[in-house]
Amino acid sequence: MKFFFGVMGMVMIVEGVPYFIAPHKMRQMITMILQMPEGTLRRFGFFMMLAGLAVVYLSMGAG
């Protein structure tokens, strides 16, 4: 559980950096995302999940 919360904390840090560094650009990006079709967002989300899974798999020493 300690590892899980450590990972979640790191995710929160990485996710928060763009909002801290460039809030105006993040507003523009969010506006652009709101205008995208759901199918595009779904494919992007699926790709990001696969990429995250690959990173976790490779970081665990497999491959």
Picking from 18, 37, 36, the residue whose alpha carbon sits closest to that of residue 27 is 18
13-38 average pLDDT score: 96
pLDDT at 61: 77
- According to the model, what pLDDT value does residue 42 have? 97
Say which residue the tokens 């969010």 belong to.
30
pLDDT tens-digit map of 1-15? 898 999 999 999 999
Determine the structural domain holding residue 48 and report its residue range: 2-59
| Overall number of domains in the chain | 1
Q: CB 26: neighbour CB atoms within 10 A?
A: 13
Cβ-defined contacts of 25-34 (< 8 Å, 24+): none
